[in-house]
Amino acid sequence: MTTSPIHHTAAPRPGVDSAVQGVLAQLAGEPGALLPILHALQDALGYVPPDSVPAIADALNLSRAEVHGVISYYHHFRSSPPTPHTVQVCRAEACQSMGAEALLAHARQHLGCGLHAQSGDGVFTVEAAYCLGLCASSPAIAVDGQVHARMTPQKFDALVARVAHSREAA
Amino acid sequence: MSTVTLYVPCDSAALAVGADAVAERIAQEAAARGIDVHIVRNGSRGLFWLEPLVEVATPAGRVAYGPVAPSDVPKLFDAGLVTGGAHALCHGPTGAIPYLARQQRLTFARMGMTDPRSLADYQAYGGFDGLRNAIAMPPEAIVQTLIDSGLRGRGGAAFPAGIKWKTVAGAQAAQKYIVCNADEGDSGTFSDRMTMEGDPFMLIEGMAIAALAVGATQGYVYVRSEYPHAIATLNAAIALAEAGGFLGANVLGSGKAFHLQVRKGAGSYVCGEETALLESLEGKRGIVRAKPPLPALAGLFGQPTVINNVITLASVPIILARGAQFYRDFGVGRSHGTLPFQLAGNILHGGLVETAFGLTLRELLYDYGGGSATGRPIKAVQVGGPLGAYLPESQWDIPLDYEAYAAMGAGIGHGGIVVHDDQADLSQLARYAMEFCALESCGKCTPCRIGSTRGVEVIDKIRANNHKAEQVALLHDLCDTMVHGSLCAMGSMTPIPVTSALKHFPQDFGLAAPDRA
């Protein structure tokens, strides 16, 4: 996942700042607290805002470089807000044996996305995943964290249409 | 009519093919027909081609139906689902389905039988018998039982688990830890996920026994972020176990404390390597540590630490419940006990097959798996995850035993078996092995960090017929450097799929076919 450079000039945003302070108050005392803090922030905000790095570093007595290094090391953490919907297509060996590469190409083409990039309308992101643990029901995908197995291009199109429709209806 | 009990699995592999919608439809249909039903969300039996697998409790035992779609439900009720009536989707008594009946389920004996969040169900099927026995034993006797059982690490390295425990038990420290490696990143594996989603108390019990054996008071389960259902079930199970006195300040009145917490990974494959996992638990980048010191002596936060895979720890309760000899008597040679093999990829009947060591890949592929899903000939089988060898048909009759596999340059690893049919291009899969290593390398050592990227380039040149003979020689050299110069298994084992593909399937690289020696 791409990460932006560290910014610490952004104007304070009350929602983000209170989320960061709340998470730090709850978790900073845990042994090995950094990953739990980053997960809690991403769960609350959808991403780990780069301007939260100084506060996290301060609370854990780490350098900003160390915190940034951890955020950028792990594929899971995002440094920018996600699109409303994320499609993960597993491309590990078991899914490859059942046509995952063709499914991934279909997903990108259908949604008009580059890999790990947004669709033109900014609604979907297509990501590669490396094993969702559904290897006996390949190929597998996850849409917004919900898993779907024995996927075909036809089922994929129907699923995406349902997701897009539920968004328009909301 | 009295209440009818129906089972619809809550395992991810069932949810991913619509189990929730099936459960909902069953509830609606039963209500509409005035039938009183109790729907249990059980773990999966591991017969994934039949998921969603609906079972109904009858006086003669459970009867299975699958794969059930929501639209099948009304017709199933018409056919007498609630009494185990005949229907095209009916497979008869679940336990008599040959795939299940011929297995030797020890660790997975309860899998699919119980509600994973029910302490009562767990104990009705022998749960906590091992922990109760362990509490009555001196710690050295627990360790000796594990040594005598012959249990070896099921994560892949196959190191004797009891020896590891003995090292930690003998270390002097104010704080020791039990860490469960649940970063199951190997493609083709799902036995850890099934355990956490389908029988989580078994893992909790195994960790509590480990804690008593070595004198640890704190444990962590490091679960990959790709497993949200496993994390949720495990957290619920830990809360129930605490409330029931099986965890906490005074484990079952023993006077010993053991606290357990789930920690979530963040999408790094190399964190399945034990020292990288410990770094990650400490809140750092998942960079591999040089050994020594061994984690058993200086592990989490520098303290003595037992770090074992989910299946290793989940195998402990039955060993303590039934005795070392009971477990040791399964298997062959120095591979004692059973392994939950995971049949995956292009296979007709994919799922979980727990048997004693010693059966052959051919038996798994055809007697259990029923051949490929596409109906085409099976070409290559990767055993042991992304770092495992690609085996051609000439090697499918070797018994699955750690030593026999090592002797042919392969490994059993975590028991994942990924099947490819004759449309697979092994040069493409070899390239993928290097690409995956480049993506997931922690970057600490050069052979892995740089070698994997060079490996992709060299294989691309071979595939493009660009100075092929020289590039093949270079690829062998590069693999040799990675094998001998890398710190951990990521760099040192990535060459295994590459060189096995090259050796056994040279025609896919545009090279002459192998000698039939």
- Per residue in A19-47, pLDDT (tens digit) is 999 999 999 999 999 999 999 999 999 99
The whole-angstrom separation of Cα B439 and Cα A128 is 12
Report the largest interatomic distance among the alpha carbons of chain A, rounded to a whole angstrom: 52
Q: pLDDT tens across A42-58, in order?
A: 999 999 999 999 999 99
Give the residue-averaged pLDDT of B132-159. 97
Residue type at B35?
Answer: I
Query: Hey, how many other C-beta atoms are within 10 angstroms of the C-beta on B61?
Result: 13
pLDDT digits (tens, 9 = 90+) for B282-318: 999 999 999 999 999 999 999 999 999 999 999 999 9
Q: Does B231 touch chain A (CB under 8 A)?
A: no
Q: What is the pLDDT of residue A11?
A: 56
The tens digit of pLDDT for each residue in B20-46 reads: 999 999 999 999 999 999 999 999 999
Whether residue A5 has pLDDT greater than 60: no
Give percent of chain B above pLDDT 70.
99
Looking at this protein, which amino acid is placed at residue A126? V
Residue B91 clears pLDDT 50, i.e. is over it: yes
Whether B197 and chain A come into contact, CB under 8 Å, resolves to no
| Closest A-chain CA to B264 | A36
Q: Could you give the CA distance from residue B61 to residue B84 in angstroms, rounded to a whole number?
A: 9
Q: Do B345 and A75 touch (CB under 8 A)?
A: no
User: Average pLDDT of chain B?
Assistant: 97
Q: Does A120 touch chain B (CB under 8 A)?
A: no
Task: Give A-chain residues touching B228 at CB under 8 angstroms.
Answer: 145
Tell me the H-state helices in B187-309: 191-198, 200-214, 228-243, 274-281
Sheet holding B305-309, edge to edge: B259-264, B218-223, B177-182, B305-309
pLDDT > 50? residue B460: yes
Q: What's the whole-number mean pLDDT along residues A107-128? A: 91
Average pLDDT over residues A5-11: 48
Label residue B71 exposed, middle or buried (CB < 10 Å: 0-12, 13-18, 19+). exposed
Alpha-carbon distance B191 to B195, whole Å?
6
A-chain CB neighbours of B186 within 8 Å are 131
Alpha-carbon distance B253 to B270, whole Å? 39
Asked if pLDDT for residue A7 goes beyond 70, the answer is no
| CA–CA min distance A145, chain B (Å) | 8
Q: How far is B458 from chain A (nearest CA, A)?
A: 21
Angstrom distance (rounded) from CA B7 to CA B44 = 10
Residues of B in contact with A140 (CB under 8 A): 16
- B235 touches A: beta carbon within 8 Å: no
- State ipTM: 0.95
Residues A97, A65: contact at Cβ < 8 Å? no
pLDDT of residue B1: 59
Asked if pLDDT for residue A8 goes beyond 50, the answer is: no
Given a cut of 60, whether residue A1 has pLDDT beyond it is no
- In degrees and rounded to multiples of 5, residue B496 shows phi and psi of -65, -55
B358-400 pLDDT, tens digit each: 999 999 999 999 999 999 999 999 999 999 999 999 999 999 9
Interchain CB distance below 8 Å, A97 and B418:
yes
Please tell me the least confidently modeled range out of A119-128, B77-86, B367-376: A119-128
Is B373 an 8 Å CB contact of chain A? yes
For B57, list phi and psi in degrees, rounded to 5.
Answer: -80, 125
| Stretch B183-193: mean pLDDT | 97
Q: How far apart are CA A81 and CA A45, in angstroms?
A: 8
Eight-state DSSP code of residue B2: P
Task: Judge: B266–A35 Cβ closer than 8 Å, yes or no.
Answer: yes
What are the pLDDT digits (tens) for B332-352? Answer: 999 999 999 999 999 999 999
Nearest by Cα to B7 from B64, B48, B50, B59: B64
Per-residue pLDDT tens digits for B401-437: 999 999 999 999 999 999 999 999 999 999 999 999 9
Burial class (CB in 10 A: 0-12, 13-18, 19+), B500: buried
Question: Which ranges in chain A belong to alpha helices (H)?
Answer: 14-27, 34-45, 53-60, 64-73, 93-96, 100-111, 153-169
Instruction: Please report the DSSP string for B82-132 in residue order.
Output: GGT---TTEEEEGGGSHHHHTS--STTTTTTTS-TT-HHHHHHTTTTHHHH
For B310, phi and psi rounded to 5 degrees?
-55, -50
- The pLDDT, as a whole number, for residue B514 is 63
Minimum-distance CB partner of B429 among A93, A135, A136: A93
Interchain pair A38, B266: CB under 8 A: yes
The widest CA-to-CA distance across chain B, in whole angstroms, is 78
57-116 in chain A: CB under 8 A from chain B: 60, 66, 69-70, 73-77, 92-98
pLDDT at A3: 46
Report whether the peptide linkage leading into residue A14 is cis, meaning its omega lies within 30 degrees of zero: no
- CB interface of B with A, residues 62-121, below 8 Å: none
Q: Which residues of B touch A93 (CB under 8 A)?
A: 187-188, 345, 382, 386, 418, 420, 429, 432
Model confidence over B219-229: pLDDT tens digits? 999 999 999 99
Helix (H/G/I), strand (E/B), else coil: A62: coil
Instruction: For B110-130, write each residue's pLDDT tens digit.
Output: 999 999 999 999 999 999 999
* pLDDT above 50 for B253: yes
Nearest CA among B376, B19, B501 for reference residue A93: B501
Residues 6+ apart with CB under 8 A from B163: B147
Residue B222: which residues within 8 A CB-CB, separation 6 or more? Answer: B179, B180, B181, B182, B183, B263, B264, B265, B271, B277, B280, B281
Chain A residues whose CB is inside 8 A of the B226 CB are: 129, 131-133
Say if residue B460 is exposed, middle or buried (CB neighbours under 10 Å; 0-12, 13-18, 19+). Answer: middle
Q: What is the pLDDT of residue B160?
A: 98
Distance of residue B48 Cα from the nearest chain A Cα, in angstroms = 6
Residue B457 has pLDDT above 80, yes or no: yes
Q: Do B263 and A32 touch (CB under 8 A)?
A: yes
Q: Which of A33, A74, A130 sits opposite B436 (nearest CB)?
A: A130
Determine which of A134, A143, A146 to mutate to test the interface with B (most B C-beta atoms within 10 Å). Answer: A134
CB contact under 8 A, A32 and B342: no
Q: Does B421 touch chain A (CB under 8 A)?
A: yes
- What span, in angstroms and rounded, lies between the C-alpha atoms of B116 and B198? 5
Give the C-alpha separation, B341 to B353, whole Å: 5
pLDDT of residue B136: 98
